[in-house]
Structure 1
Amino acid sequence: MLAIADPELDDGPRTNRSATMRMCAVSRDVRPIDELIRFVVAPSGEVIPDLKRKLPGRGLWVSASRQAVAEAVRRHHFTKGFKRDLRVAATLATDTEALLERFVVEVLGVAAKAGQVISGFTKVADALERQAQERAKPPVRALIHASDGAADGIRKLDALVGQNGRNGGKPAEILIVNVLTSEQLDLALGRSNVIHAALLAGPASDTFLSRSQLLVRYRMADDDRTAAKNLPIQTRAVTHD
């Protein structure tokens, strides 16, 4: 059974462990915590995002949306929610997105160190071929493209994803993720000119996909579609019968 905690502020990261729903301070909608971002007050009096939900002190929750965070700043929801004078950066919405990106880069690096990432066009293509022939162990969980990668290479690898399950076996779901730039992939994987990578199944990979989805949600929830066109925001699942 889902538990709904105090709609205004939580009592800290180590209390109310059963709470799986929270109220957005902006919309007042009660939503799963995976669709929200927790904010806390730093010792300096500055409001900061607590992406890992582990920072001490009481927390206020806002929908994982750049627009929602910007509105929370504009309408002084943090001051009202925490009931005290605070330092709230005018750029908090943009700063939060940058932290989300950094978090995704970090967890991809962890997945790489765990041996759950293959990079390079040829190696990725080989991994997808093995997947199609049901010889991939561990299986490919996701295909990662740099958001600024060339369309031709992306199209060719996506076509290999389309061969998944061609031998009559049950097709696996392969996610296609393009939330990071080539420069960010380079940083995560510790090499240069990374455009394509394959993510193998494993705990670290699951964390990367979860954090990528949060970043996608943060960008896609923005109603400013003109700005959204310029963002690496696509994450889609591909399943073939």
Structure 2
Amino acid sequence: MTRGGREKDREAAPERRCLVTGEVGPKAGLIRFVAGPDGTVVPDLAEKLPGRGFWVTADRPALQKAADKGLFSRGAKSHVRAEPDLVDGIEAALARRVVELISLSRKAGDAVAGFEKVKGWLADGKAKVLFQASDGSDRGKGKLWTPTGGRWFGCLTASELGLAFGRDHVIHSALAPGGLTDKVIRDASRLNGLRGHIGSSAAGKDSRADER
């Protein structure tokens, strides 16, 4: 690859250094923080808050270590304190963001729910992302498959997915390319790090359906 190509890659995927691990990676895999006016560390999930930003990998052990060891102060270049429920609060906020983004995608016609609709999108190549509820049955989830060149996530519960579609619960949902889908992928990937789910592939490829 040319030097210009590498520069374009860096411009397309800006990188940040994790203050816990010291590793540099795409900022989509890290969470930004700033020092609040009251001396507490504030997660900036939208990456819009003013002030000096410091970054930690979107991983529960790394975030907990930063909170327990006072590492946020090193990133802020001043003393800041982490609230006891900081990591749990980040997880809850990320879950809300993913649900809200899926809901907006649904309203734009870019997301569907239900086994048959999702199966149809997958078969027609219309889906970029497959969501399946973390508490859904493995047997039912294994009857769908990860979109070609796309992503699978199991980081939301059935009730959380249901909120995005105005239902009590949803087991399967799919998102089309474009729209808000890249933002959904970014925040769902971060949520995976907090909840320990691996967003790489679904359980199987049998397309028979027996659940919603």
- Which range, TM-score by smaller chain? 0.7 to 0.9
What residue in structure 2 maps to residue 229 of structure 1? none
Q: Does 2:178 align with 1:178?
A: no
Question: Aligned with 1:211: secondary structure?
Answer: helix
2:181 matched residue in structure 1: 205
How many residues align? The count is 198
**1:76-135 per-position Cα deviation (integer Å, ceiling 9, x unaligned):** 112233243433112222222222222211211121111111111222233334x1xxxx
Matched, 1:86 2:50: no
1:148 aligned residue (130, 135, 146):
135
Q: Which residue number corresponds to residue 169 of structure 1?
A: none
| Percent identity of paired positions between Structure 1 and Structure 2 | 37
Contact 2:72 2:81 in 1 (8 A): no
8 Å contact 1:174–1:237 — kept in the other structure? no
Aligned position for 1:216: 192
Which residue is equivalent to 1:10?
none
Contact preservation (8 Å) 2:13, 2:26: no
Equivalent in the alignment of 1:100:
94
Unaligned runs of 5+ in 2: 1-6, 206-212
Are 2:111 and 2:173, in contact at CA under 8 Å, matched by a contact in 1?
yes
Alpha-carbon separation, structure 2, partners of 1:118 and 1:185: 11
**2:43 aligned with 1:42, yes or no?**
no
Q: Could you tell me which residue of structure 1 aligns to residue 210 of structure 2?
A: none
Taking the aligned partners of 1:28 and 1:127, their CA distance within structure 2 comes to 41
Return the TM-score normalized by structure 2: 0.80
In the TM superposition, residue 54 of structure 1 has moved relative to its aligned partner by 0.7
One-letter amino acid of the structure 1 residue matched with residue 184 of structure 2: F
Decide whether the 8 Å contact of 1:145 with 1:154 is kept in 2.
Answer: yes
Check conservation: 1:105, 1:188, Cα contact below 8 A: yes
Q: 1:71 to 1:140 in 2, by over 3 A?
A: same
Residue matched to 1:109: 103
Query: Relative to 1, partners in 2 of residues 1:79 and 1:210: Cα closer, same or farther, differing over 3 Å?
Result: closer
| CA deviation profile, 1:64-83 (whole Å, cap 9, x unmatched) | 21111111111111223324
- Equivalence for 1:236: 200
1:55 alignment partner in structure 2: 49
Report if aligned partners of 1:114, 1:204 keep a CA contact under 8 Å in 2. Answer: no
Aligned to 2:121: 127
Structure 2 contact 160–169 (Cα < 8 Å) conserved? no
Q: Which runs of 5+ in 1 are unaligned?
A: 5-16, 165-171, 221-232
Alpha-carbon spacing, 1:91–1:144, altered in 2? closer, same or farther (3 Å): same
Residues 46/198 of structure 1: CA separation in 2 closer, same or farther (3 Å cut): same
